Structures are given as C-alpha cells and as structure tokens.
Amino acid sequence: MISLSNITKIYSSPNGDVKAVDQINLRIKKGEIFGIIGYSGAGKSTLIRLLNGLEKPTSGSIEIGGIRIDEIKGEKLRKARQEISMIFQHFNLLWSRTIEENISFPLEIAGVEKKERIKRVRELIKLVGLEGREKAYPSQLSGGQKQRVGIARALANNPKVLLCDEATSALDPQTTDSILDLLVDINERLGLTIVLITHEMHVIRKICHRVAVMENGRIVEEGEVLNVFRHP
C-alpha cells in the first residue's frame, strides 16, 4: 500500500543543512495500523508530510496505492491527496463553521452535490458518535469531540490512508483511549490503512500492529509491536 525507498529529506537553513529524514525504507500494508514513534526532532513530522505530499523528498521515492506521490503535482496531487487524509494534534477545524459545515467542507471542495453531501455528513456524524451536535461550533465541544469532527472530516471523501499527526497528544488519557478505540473501529470497519506518529508509547501499544522507532532521521528499529516493545 505504502512504500518508501531510500527517502532522504534535507532542509537548508541559515545555520546549515538539516537532514531531517535519512535514507528511510519502509513498507506499510493495506489495512494496517502502523505507528512511528520517536522523540521530538526525530523526523516524524517530516516523514508524515512527505507521505501527504506536502513536502518533496530530496532523494528517494514514495509510492502510495500505486501512485508516485513524490513525482506528481498540481491537480494530480490534489486528487491523490483526497485519498490520503490527515488528522492533527490541534484539530485544525474551521472555527466559524458548525460541526456539519466542517465535515461537509472537503465534500464541497471535491464538488459533491448538496443532497449527497447532506447524506454523507449524516453518516459521518453517526460513525464518530456526534449525533445531536451538528449545529454546534468547535468552541462548544470538548477536545475529544473536536477530534471526532477532525476524524469525520478526514473520512469524508473515503480516503485509502489516514495519517494521524500526534492526534491524541492534546487529550487527557481517558479521552485519548476513546479516540484510539474509534480509530480501531474505523480501521476494522472500513479496512482503512492508518499511519500515526506519536511520542507516546501507550498509543503504540494500544492500537498499532507494527511500529518503527525513529532517531535522528533514521529508523533504528521496526517490527511487530509485541516484539519491539516486549514487556520485561
């Protein structure tokens, strides 16, 4: 499903070049929940932005669902990115729009007609358990509810891959668990491939099938979660 070959990303800065990602090779299978863990500065965000086509690698190739995401741009990249959606630590919701308008937004951008949008938004609201909150604004919701909106919006156009960028890092432990349960439910029900980055071991242990540990732009360990993080 996802294949990264010899990916290197170098940022040029006034203080010299920074190698954020260094010769990474990775295969992620369809339907897998794959975790990438590492300390701050390890290169996780850069890796996820490369997967999302927001950044281009300095060298190497990235294939997602048969598309060379590192090679395309413009309209082709825009189309491909509908299949690769993302949720964020701070949710990135539109604060002046209601919950249903937030969820409908990517459907409008994709040119889905109104009747179909209304139907789809209703399904998504139900999927993430926000019935009754359709007309509320993000500021009226708890953190966990905001992330449910983020998830519904991310799923609107039926993506093949969901990228999660520290999606539970702003939430308390209990809310974190409820969001992780929802992600597992979506993974199982829709067969969606999920790639998540986190600095929290708990997140990896709770929902990931496989994990890669990043350090200084490199993958230093990779495998089944049970093997990589064996309880002593």
Of the residues 4, 44, 121, 128, which one makes contact with ligand ADP according to CB under 6 A: 44
Of the residues 101, 143, 175, 229, which one makes contact with ligand ADP according to CB under 6 A: 143
Place of tokens 């990602």: 21
Q: Tell me the residue type at 225.
A: V
Q: How far apart are CA 116 and CA 194, in angstroms?
A: 26
Of the residues 1, 18, 112, 228, which one makes contact with ligand ADP according to CB under 6 A: 18
List all residues 6 or more positions away from 158 whose beta carbon is below 8 Å from its beta carbon: none
Of the residues 14, 66, 95, 174, which one makes contact with ligand ADP according to CB under 6 A: 95
Q: What DSSP string runs through 98-115? A: -HHHHHHHHHHHTT--HH
Kindly provide the b/e burial profile for residues 29-59, where b requires at least 16 CB atoms within 10 angstroms of the residue's own CB: eeebbbbbbbeeebbbbbbbbbbbbebebee
Q: Tell me the residue type at 20.
A: A
For position 90 contacting ligand ADP by CB under 6 A, the verdict is: yes
Residue closer to ligand ADP (CB basis): 17 or 181: 17
Minimum CB–partner distance for residue 101 and ligand ADP (Å): 14
For position 43 contacting ligand ADP by CB under 6 A, the verdict is: yes
Minimum CB–partner distance for residue 171 and ligand ADP (Å): 9
Do the Cβ atoms of 153 and 102 come closer than 8 Å? Answer: yes
| 8-state DSSP, 158 | -
For position 187 contacting ligand ADP by CB under 6 A, the verdict is: no
Return the range that interacts with ligand ADP (CB under 6 A); candidates 13-21, 57-65, 154-162, 178-186: 13-21
Which stretches of the chain bind ligand ADP, using CB under 6 A? 11, 13, 18, 20, 38, 40-46, 90-91, 95, 139, 143, 146, 170
